[in-house]
């Protein structure tokens, strides 16, 4: 049987054998000799050296080298571009600082010959008021602006059911809405809290507390005294900090009055314009001042000349800490400060003030000189006015005229 032997093709001379050997051609041997004689041999290059180090040492060495390069680059950048001392703690402050105010003053005798000095400046506008006042500080201060927290005003209002109650509460509530915060309105009712009063307080948008005086009405000589005492007890128990002011709902108040209340340290007083009970003349009751020092009193009623302090209930205000921190004001007794119901009518004010201050030297007249009327007590309410339930009339007009 004939057999055919195939000769090995010249194209496969460089093929490897299965046992790992290989036959090299002449061309492959010449290339190997060329690479071994070249000065750019792969075994002697930096890249090959670095690759070998990586295979032997692993990734910890790579991390160490990267860290060294980073530190070296950072130090080189600081030496070329700046110093470490250039970085100050103020550069990382998160405080909101107002922009600088640029003011230029042109002296008299300029180009126009004796013209008035003109001040050009950029005014700072603060749209959001968060219970702080902005005041200009000294020239040595860095930013020139100080933020002073406003004192809280604690306005106490006793009220009761009557025909004009809704009108009085709405009027006083609208005035308090114009007063810069913080303002706390404490409204006190007798026996129970009416839904009508609660609705008015809700609609004002003010911060308020609706309290109830649970005193038996048959034993009450002066309803307003016990209602104010309920508010004083609430302030003392919760240690409310601020300036307490008794504001009856039927009085008339100016915004300037509430602005001046925040300047009071211990006890402040001012004159009040009143309409006499006969409604045929106006009288003035309150302090006579030399700047802010009280030196005397205005009074026009002979029956009240025996009073120690001639002040109306809406003519004074005091610091609330007097109620719950007697040691701060060196009060001789720690008894609660309350209004007295057993005294004669018209003497509630003076007996209450005698518990707060000793004499006129501890009082502050406001405004300076006590020369402005900021509160009016007019007694204009009609006592025979019919009080409808819920402040709404069940019937419309008695007579309806058709339109022709």
Q: Which of 349, 354, 358, 360 is catalytic?
A: 349
* Rg of the chain over all Cα atoms, to the nearest angstrom: 45
User: Per residue, what are the HEC states of the chain?
Assistant: CCCCCCCCCHHHCCCECCCCCECCCHHHHHHHHHHHHCCCCHHHCHHHHHHHHHHHHCHHHHHHHHHHHHHHHHHHHHHHHCCHHHCCHHHHCCCCCCCCCCCEECCCCCCCCCCCCCEECCCCCCCCCCCEEEEECCCCCCCCEEEEECCCEEEEEECCCCCCHHHHHHHHHHHHHCCCCCEEEEEEEECCCCHHHHHHHHHHCCEEEEEEECCCHHHCCCHHHHHHHHHHHHHHHHCCCCEEEECCCCCEECHHHHHHHCCCCCEEECCEEEECCCCCCEEEEEEEEECCEEEEEECCCHHHCCCCCCCCCCCEEEECHHHHCHHHHCCCCCCCCCCCCCCCCCCHHHHHHHHHCCCHHHCEECCCCCCCCCEEECCCCCCCCCCCHHHCCCCCCCCCCCCC
What CA–CA distance (Å, rounded) separates 185 from 339? 19
CB-based contacts of 65: which residues, under 8 Å, 6+ apart?
Answer: none
Q: State how far the Cα of 54 lies from the Cα of 63, in Å rounded to an integer.
A: 11
The dihedrals phi and psi of 262, each to the nearest 5 degrees, come to: -70, -10
Measured distance CA(25)–CA(212) in Å, rounded = 114
Q: Is 359 annotated as a binding residue?
A: no
Does the active-site annotation cover 349?
A: yes
Long-range Cβ contact pairs of 193-199 (< 8 A, separation 24 or more): 194/161, 195/390, 196/165, 196/166, 196/390, 196/391, 197/159, 197/165, 197/169
Question: Could you give the residue numbers annotated as active site?
Answer: 349
Could you tell me which residues are annotated as the binding site for Mn(2+)?
A: 250
Could you tell me which residues are annotated as the binding site?
A: 250
């Amino acid at each position: 049987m004939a057999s055919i032997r195939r000769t090995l093709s010249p194209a496969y001379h460089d093929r490897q054998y299965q046992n790992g050997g290989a036959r090299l051609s002449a061309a492959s041997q010449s290339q190997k000799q060329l690479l071994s004689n070249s000065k750019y041999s792969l075994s002697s290059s930096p890249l090959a050296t670095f690759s070998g180090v990586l295979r032997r040492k692993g990734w910890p060495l790579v991390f160490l080298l990267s860290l060294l390069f980073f530190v070296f680059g950072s130090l080189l950048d600081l030496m070329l571009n700046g110093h470490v001392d250039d970085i100050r703690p103020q550069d990382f402050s998160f405080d909101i600082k107002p922009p600088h105010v640029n003011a230029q003053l042109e002296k008299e005798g300029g180009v126009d010959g004796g013209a008035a000095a003109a001040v050009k400046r950029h005014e700072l506008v603060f749209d959001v008021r968060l219970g702080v006042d902005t005041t200009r500080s000294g020239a040595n201060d860095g930013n020139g602006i100080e933020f002073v927290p406003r004192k809280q005003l604690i306005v106490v209002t006793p009220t009761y059911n009557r025909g004009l109650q809704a009108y009085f509460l709405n009027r006083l509530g609208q005035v308090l809405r114009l007063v810069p915060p913080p303002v706390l309105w404490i409204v006190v009712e007798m026996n129970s809290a009416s839904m009508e009063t609660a609705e008015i307080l809700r609609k004002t948008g003010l911060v308020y507390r609706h309290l109830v005086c649970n005193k038996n009405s048959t034993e009450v000589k002066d309803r307003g005294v016990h209602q104010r005492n309920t508010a004083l007890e609430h302030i003392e128990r919760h240690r409310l900090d601020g300036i307490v002011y008794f504001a009856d709902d039927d009085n008339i108040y100016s915004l300037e009055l509430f602005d001046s209340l925040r300047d009071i340290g211990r006890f402040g007083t001012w004159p009040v314009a009143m309409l006499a009970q006969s409604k045929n003349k106006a009288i003035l009751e309150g302090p006579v001042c030399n700047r802010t020092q009280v030196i005397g009193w205005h009074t026009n009623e002979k029956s009240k000349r025996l009073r120690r302090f001639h002040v109306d209930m809406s003519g004074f205000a005091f610091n609330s800490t007097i109620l719950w921190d007697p040691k701060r004001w060196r009060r001789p007794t720690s008894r609660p400060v309350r209004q007295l119901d057993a005294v004669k009518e018209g003497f509630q004010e003076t007996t209450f003030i005698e518990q707060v201050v000793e004499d006129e030297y501890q009082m502050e007249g406001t405004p300076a000189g006590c020369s402005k009327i900021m509160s009016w007590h007019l007694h204009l309410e009609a006592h025979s006015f019919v009080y409808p339930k819920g402040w709404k009339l069940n019937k419309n007009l008695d007579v309806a005229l058709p339109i022709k």
